[in-house]
Amino acid sequence: MSDRDPPSGRRPPPAGGPLRTPGGVLLLAFVAAAGLLLAYEHRVHLLSADGLLIAVLLACVGIHLFMHRGHGGGHGGGRSGR
């Protein structure tokens, strides 16, 4: 046991969050492959007038996140000056 190991003998989680683990990398690869296959199968809809509808919906999500500043905070419920 080295000086860096926690007392319980277990290693701390890897830096960078759960997506840096082998399971996280596998999940990212699966989501990317599923997204590519989904986009390929529905390419006719994405490139037609339905694509405009998708663009508007994505713009709504973007505006929502911009207005909340990424949900990083600001939900204190009151004014900060008081």
19 vs 59: CA distance, rounded Å: 27
Q: Can you give the pLDDT at residue 37?
A: 93
pLDDT in tens, 38-53: 889 888 877 777 777 8
> CA 7 → CA 1, 3, 11, 50, distances in Å?
9, 9, 10, 57
82 vs 74: CA distance, rounded Å: 15
The pTM of this model reads 0.45
28 vs 40: CA distance, rounded Å: 18
Q: What residues does each domain of the chain span?
A: 18-68
51 vs 41: CA distance, rounded Å: 14
Q: Can you give the pLDDT at residue 79?
A: 55
pLDDT in tens, 13-70: 667 677 778 888 999 999 999 999 988 988 887 777 777 787 888 899 888 888 877 5
Backbone angles phi, psi at 30, to 5 degrees: -65, -45
